[in-house]
Amino acid sequence: MPFDPRSLLDHKFRKIRHSYTEKDCILYALGVGMGIDPLNEDCLAFLYEDGLKVLPSQAVIMAHPGFWAKEDDTGLDWVKVLHAGQEIILHRPFPTSGTVEATTRVTEVIDKGERIGALIISDRVVRDVATGEDICTLITTILARGDGGFGGERKTSARTDIVPVREPDSVCDLPTLRQQALLYRLSGDCNPLHAVPEVARNAGFREPILHGLCTLGVATHALMKTCCDYDPGRFRRMRLRFSAPVYPGDTIRTEIWREGEAFAFRCKSLEQDKIVINNGYLLTG
């Protein structure tokens, strides 16, 4: 069916109930690159069941609706869909196992023109089934590059956070593995763009790219190390924009600026010499 922004706003997502275990938490941490140095005891705390910690960025996979842009009734050119931005608001740390549920809803569709595409913003509130308490709120922005120019109102996107024009206060370099995307997809994001070379080439990439949310996980590791002393309880809120794809095997440099009680950050692929995450904001407690 053709793309219709009005029907997308009315799209009814089913409620997702998601049970997870300590093993799932460990698999997620491995998928975003924790444990590349298996002797780093700070990282081991996210990979070993005795005293296990949960990375705050694991919130993005909880009660995830899957690759819904590929469903026929959305009308989206799914091969050209990219993750453009993500916000995580943590109301409390995730337990190491449990059952959560959430319902995704599309809140806004913004026409950026035929050349750029359509911005589609959705959110979901993840709740603990056992207690009924909200654990986190997730706000996701995707760019449908093949679906702009539908004649909608040309709205201005929300103001982005500004990265300071000065040398960063801290820098953290973290490598990714060549097989990183294949590891990360085991946590539930099975978009073939990140696994099948032909699909990646058809989308304009030389090879499968790393999931944007995997890159977000690497950035979270850098922020946990640099700003939170690896304590998930200090991680309150993060938002960012994805500005360029990462190829598995790239080294990601996270540049961090302290701004009062918060932090600004951005990430760069050293091999590509490109900013891959920009306009980052972190609030700690």
Kindly report the pTM of this predicted structure. Answer: 0.90
Q: Which tokens hold the place of 28?
A: 């997620």
Host H or E run for residue 106: strand 105-111
Q: Are 88 and 127 in contact (CB under 8 A)?
A: no
**Catalytic residue positions?**
189, 194
Instruction: Compute the distance between CA of residue 79 and CA of residue 269 in angstroms, rounded to an integer.
Output: 23
* Integer angstrom CA distances of residue 94 from 46, 74, 154, 158, 232: 12, 32, 38, 29, 9
Confidence (pLDDT) at 158:
61
Q: Mind spelling out the 3-state secondary structure of 212-278?
A: HHHHHHHHHHHHHHHHCCCCHHHEEEEEEEECCCCCCCCEEEEEEEEECCEEEEEEEECCCCEEEEE
Confidence (pLDDT) at 148:
80
Instruction: Compute the distance between CA of residue 79 and CA of residue 281 in angstroms, rounded to an integer.
Output: 29
What domains are there in the chain, each with its CATH number? 5-284 (3.10.129.10)
Confidence (pLDDT) at 155:
60
Q: Are 33 and 218 in contact (CB under 8 A)?
A: yes
Averages of pLDDT over each 10 residues, the chain, 285 residues = 76 93 98 95 96 97 86 78 92 96 93 87 96 97 85 63 92 98 93 92 93 96 97 96 96 95 96 98 96
Instruction: Compute the distance between CA of residue 190 and CA of residue 184 in angstroms, rounded to an integer.
Output: 9
- Residue 164 CA from chain centroid, whole number: 23
Instruction: Compute the distance between CA of residue 34 and CA of residue 8 in angstroms, rounded to an integer.
Output: 37
Which one, of 21, 5, 31, lies nearest residue 187 by Cα? 31
Instruction: Compute the distance between CA of residue 148 and CA of residue 115 in angstroms, rounded to an integer.
Output: 7
At residue 195, what is the residue type?
A
The percent helix, strand, coil of the chain (3-state, each to 5) is 25, 30, 45
Decide the pairing of beta strands 105-111 and 134-144. Answer: unpaired
